[in-house]
Amino acid sequence: MTATLLSMIFAIAASPADKDLGRVLDWQSRRIEVVNRVAPTVVSVFDEQRLGGGSGVIFDERGYGLTNYHVVMKFMDSRQGVGGLSDGKLYPLEVLGVDITGDVAIFKLTGKETYAAAELGNSDTLRVGQDVIAMGNPFTLAEDYTPTVSTGLVTGVHRWQGEGETLVYTDCIQTDAAINPGNSGGPLFNMDGEVIGINGRISAEMHKYARGRFNVGLGYAISINQIKRFIPTLMAGNLGVHGTMHATTTDYVDDVVFNRVEEGPAYNVGIREYDRLLRFGDVDIHSANQFASLLGTYPTGWPVPITYQSGSRVFHKVLRLDPAPPPLRGEYIAPEEQNRAAVEDALNAFRAAANASGSDPDEWSWSAKRVDDNGNTTTFTIKDTNRELTRVEKNAQGDTQRTVHVTRDDAYWTEKERQFTLSTDQRLLYRAMRALRWDYLTRNNFHEDENIRHDGSNALITIDDNGRIANERRLQTIAWQPDEDVTIQVGFELDLALPARMVVFDRLTQKRLEVTFDDYREASDVVWPHAMTVQSESLNFTESIEQLEVAR
């Protein structure tokens, strides 16, 4: 009888217990592989005197890492600490931005060029009963900084844990993986080795024979999807600020209804007291507590879809949240050097993505078509140099109507050698578009301007006819003040590094203009948005580029 036939017989005759043991061993091997792979990304966090003790995880090979705010809170005056890695070495650590309300901080390690970095997962896919791995340095047991490993299950999702205005964990992950003092700020991994949460809170007891507090079987992690919305803000050294609608809800029989609506985002989209809340952030709402928990996961300014019922009518809207200032003992000052570095990173990425040749344009020429909200069409031929933009406007028959001139400091139009003033909204638009091409894109020392800063995270979303999110574009925003009254804020899409949204505000007149960009195409080695939508108090139109040429 051949060896192959014998192996087949033995395989058939293998007992169910043998097969179960094989599956267990396979699962164990997989867990060991994951632990070995991610251990170098786990950080033991201390102050400069190597006191305290918490954990963190590196998510960017340049040394950027996540931890809890309460881990670094005691050395925020200097922002300096040290981080221990599994190689047994300590590295200088600097605290960058912090989210006090959400108990998150970003730090940066220095001392070598690249670091092992963990992938950030998707916490929205977590299910109760799923295996997870918690890693960190509880009770500072590991003097060589090799992380302690504990395993367990997801025992609950969408939990709320809070104490007043700080250490508020909204929509968080509950696990029975052992999390103890010192684990704070460390990662909660899924079985693919992806970070799906940052551990920070426990249900604990005190015992005279224990080392202070100890875990009783319940730990809580901040969901990584909440943290992702704040990462660009915190990497720039900024203060993380959560959002508010200036409205509250209550449970009424089987409904969730608004019981307080003040002036703000909710009121502005038409919500009034006694309206029913049906959906928020693409999640069906079943309780007032669920709504409050979800709301706490969003930064200020973030666009959130909301579905509500007023009378017999159902409305689908998108609102942008107002700031809910965190509890601060004094003024928060962002590290200027880090903010400048974030500006430079964003602008360099934009220039690399938009300008394949690497050499600055000398002249832009294009034709465009504009359709306003009344269906009126205007065509343009445009020539733009670093000195002046000339925009010749024509009607549907091709007859010239007027010529618009835009310089760095002004915009006006001429007809038959006579000069006329443009509206404030038009002047803001033309000046901002010129700044995007000649300052944001081509001015190499632009990031050194004292009036430019990294403003943090933002997004653009579109919804379908049912109010569900059809598309979401994550942004990081750069704001510049060309003069003391005007601010031009450009949101660059994180994935593409290209401009997706521009907001222009004139403090003197309180005028505000919003531009969204789309339809990116390459022309003359430049990738540029060929469609934009403009909205302000007096402007509402879409404009598309039909032919673009860039000369160098």
User: Does the annotation count 70 as an active-site position?
Assistant: yes
CA dihedral 205, 209, 210, 212 (to 10 degrees): 70
104-117 in b/e form (b: 16+ CB < 10 A) is: bbbbbbeeeeebeb
Contact of 183 with 137, CB cutoff 8 Å: yes
* φ, ψ for residue 239, nearest 5 deg: -85, 125
Task: Please pick, among 123, 184, 223, 457, the residue that the annotation labels catalytic.
Answer: 184
How far is residue 202's CA from residue 204's CA, in Å, rounded to a whole number?
A: 6
Q: Which residue has the tokens 């003024």?
A: 331
DSSP 476-527: EEEEE-SSSSEEEEEEEETTT-SEEEEEEEETTTTEEEEEEEEEEEEETTEE
Task: Please pick, among 70, 447, 454, 530, the residue that the annotation labels catalytic.
Answer: 70
User: Does the annotation count 207 as an active-site position?
Assistant: no
DSSP count for the chain of H helices, then E strands: 8, 34
Task: Please pick, among 47, 103, 275, 384, the residue that the annotation labels catalytic.
Answer: 103
- Read off the amino acid at residue 170: T
Query: Residue 454, SS3?
Result: strand
How far is residue 424's CA from residue 433's CA, in Å, rounded to a whole number?
A: 14
- Read off the amino acid at residue 249: T
How far is residue 391's CA from residue 380's CA, in Å, rounded to a whole number?
A: 7
Contact of 401 with 394, CB cutoff 8 Å: yes
Q: Which residue has the tokens 């002036």?
A: 263
Taking the CB of residue 273, how many other CB atoms lie within 10 A of it?
10
User: Does the annotation count 184 as an active-site position?
Assistant: yes
Query: Please, which contacts does 310-319 make with residues 24 or more away whose CB atoms are closer than 8 Å?
Result: 310/270, 310/271, 310/272, 310/275, 310/276, 314/278, 315/269, 315/270, 316/463, 316/465, 316/466, 316/467, 317/269, 317/270, 317/467, 318/269, 318/461, 318/463, 319/245, 319/265, 319/266, 319/268, 319/269
- Catalytic amino acids? 70, 103, 184
